[in-house]
Amino acid sequence: MVFYQEDLTGLDFAGAELSGGLLIDSRLDGARLDGALVYDALAGGVILRGASLVGANFVKAQMLEADLTEVDARDAIFVKTDLLRARLDRGDFRGASFDQADCHDASFVGADLRGAELRRTRLNGADLSGARLEGVSLDEVLLSPETRLAGATGLDRGSFERVNLDGEILHGEEASATLDALTHPDAPGRLLGRRAERPKLLGAVMTIKPEHDPEHAVALLEREIGTSGQRILDVADLDAGQALTLRREIEAQPYGHRVRFWP
């Protein structure tokens, strides 16, 4: 189907086959797309304000700058969907999947994402202020210092395995850390304005880049590792001299015996 800059307000597309179709800059305010197949569609700039998208499949759809304000998208599938600069404010996305979606600079202000899957989702620069995140899986998600989480709830009940924060990767199965280190004013990957009640960031691999100051790595480890945690430092990107210098500095610390180096 081809709809370019069409006004489709309020129409019923429930269960429709729209895969590979064209919906660029079209208006579907209040439309019904429950269970619709919109796989691989070109839908940049589409307006879906207040639409019902329950269980709809938007896998690999191109929806940059789309307007999904106040949609009902429970259990919808946005896997590998391009939602660059899209607006998803106050939408109901409970149980939806955004795995590997590109939500760079997207807005989820006040959205309900309880139980949603955001594994490996790009959320760098995204605004999740006031969003409900209880039970959300943010494993391997990409965040940045510009990601906004002020007023978001449920961060203490989500999954944060292998969160990628501005070049630093935390993961593992044994040690745990808290968002305290990430909200610290000196942390380059901090989650701005957010303090949580010690959720698990299962982990401990921190990737050290050549441009990172060894003193900063030592200070960050000191804040994170606590009295019982363990950390693995990935120094594969450093040359032999840099890796040796960092190793010596960390091994001289009281927690040095709880830090392992890879490779």
Q: Average model confidence (pLDDT) for the chain?
A: 78
The residue among 216 and 48 whose pLDDT is bigger is 48
Tokens describing residue 139: 């494993």
DSSP 261: E
In tens, the pLDDT along 84-106 reads 999 999 999 999 999 999 999 99
Which residues pair with residue 142 across a beta bridge?
A: 122, 164
The residue among 140 and 246 whose pLDDT is bigger is 246
- pLDDT for 189: 37
In tens, the pLDDT along 160-194 reads 655 555 434 333 322 233 344 344 444 333 333 33
Following CA atoms 235, 209, 85, 117 in sequence, which dihedral angle do they give, to the nearest 10 degrees?
20
**CB-based contacts of 132: which residues, under 8 Å, 6+ apart?**
111, 112, 113, 114, 152, 153, 154
Residue 156 has pLDDT above 50, yes or no: yes
From the list 38, 45, 2, 44, the residue with the least C-alpha distance to 18 is 38
Average pLDDT for 226-231:
59
- pLDDT for 71: 98
Greatest mean pLDDT among 6-20, 160-174, 186-200, 219-233: 6-20
Sign of CA dihedral 98, 104, 107, 110: positive
From the list 190, 219, 221, 216, the residue with the least C-alpha distance to 204 is 221
pTM of the model: 0.67
Return d(Cα 46, Cα 5) in angstroms, integer.
8
Average pLDDT for 125-148:
83
- pLDDT for 202: 35
The residue among 234 and 82 whose pLDDT is bigger is 82
Q: Are 95 and 116 in contact (CB under 8 A)?
A: yes
Q: Are 38 and 61 in contact (CB under 8 A)?
A: yes
